[in-house]
Amino acid sequence: MRTILRLGKHTAIFSILFSLANWALISPAYTSDYITNYKRTPAIQNLPPQIAEWKSTPTVLICEHAPIDEVRVRSAVAFWQRLGYKILHLQSPIMEPSPCDQKKPTGYVTIHLITDGIPIPPTSLAETRFYVDNNTNEIEWATIYLRADVKKTVLEHELGHALGFLHFNKINHLMNEMWEMGGWDTDGLERKRE
Ligand SMILES: [Zn+2]
């Protein structure tokens, strides 16, 4: 009787240790990063911080090798249009030189594949860089880098950065920095109309 009890105890401890190890392996590691030159710290508030808006309506470009098709990009653009943001969309860049080849594609949001030359942490699903004119608080350009397997909400999240939003770590929110904690909640993302 005693032996059986002791065995049971050990089994329980082992299974706790096992689940802890498992938890460490599957704990959220996928984040979405952004890089911006913005100088001021946004005020603390219980809404997603939007640090700037676009000077003019941006055009979204799907660049060569971008791991995403036009249907998916149109859907993500429509998502933000429903929230009040006007974003144009072009299927592929036809102008020369192409904004896709520019480091600072003024007036555009360019979408790229993450390649070896772009230093992005291995835990990041994507990264958006956006440039703000610190005198006017207006966004001049944005570039989005995606991994080959674009998970749901990732493109919409990155377009959020391209529109000047930072992270907002509410569970199920689109702008949650941990992908596994995020979702389709758009609380605070609607465009404030003048
Ligand atoms: Zn992010």
CATH of the domain at 95: 3.40.390
Q: Is residue 3 part of a domain?
A: no
What is the extent of the structural domain holding 36? 30-181
Distance 161 CA to ligand 1 centre (A): 7
Q: Is residue 48 part of a domain?
A: yes
Q: Is residue 20 part of a domain?
A: no
The alpha-carbon radius of gyration of the chain (Å, integer) is: 21
Q: Is residue 189 part of a domain?
A: no
Q: Is residue 165 part of a domain?
A: yes
Distance 97 CA to ligand 1 centre (A): 29
Position 139 scores a pLDDT of 95
Q: Is residue 41 part of a domain?
A: yes
Q: Tens of pLDDT along 95-129?
A: 778 899 998 999 999 999 998 777 888 888 999 99
Cβ contact 148:139 at 8 Å: no
Q: Is residue 85 part of a domain?
A: yes
Distance 178 CA to ligand 1 centre (A): 8
Which residues in the chain land under pLDDT 50? 1-7, 18-28
Q: Give the count of domains, the chain.
A: 1
